[in-house]
Amino acid sequence: QVQLAESGGGSVQSGGSLRLTCRASGYRYPRSCIGWFRQVPGKEREGVAVIGSSDGTVYGDFVKGRFTISRDNVETTSYLQMDGLEPEDTATYYCAVAVRRACLETLKENLFTFWGPGTQVTVST
């Protein structure tokens, strides 16, 4: 059974930084796609960043170079470094993994099978 656990969320002021961590257990495909998504109540979930099997990355347009996704294959862990946070970044952030031996990075949610419970990020002015 695949389980994901996000951590690192919290409250910061505008311009601050946070580093989110996603740890996967029971995961058979450590080189598959790992993604970060976010959702605000009343709005659709949107893709933040995805890292693919060859460590290629893709980011949502709103990221504008502020976030960096990475992975640690030994521990099947993904990180999302978020700098220059703005109040508009306030959301619940979810990590997700695809069940494929190899995949190309994409922000399409239907690629991802397992999702974590989410971690809250709050950015104040």
Over residues 2-14, the pLDDT tens digits come to 999 999 999 999 9
Q: What is the model's pLDDT at position 31?
A: 85
Q: Which residue, among 63, 30, 54, 50, has the nearest Cα to 96 in the 3D structure?
A: 50
Q: What is the model's pLDDT at position 75?
A: 64
- Mean pLDDT value of segment 42-60: 96
Q: Which two tokens stand for residue 47?
A: 């893709």
Over residues 66-123, the pLDDT tens digits come to 999 999 877 689 999 999 999 999 999 999 999 888 889 999 999 999 999 999 999 9
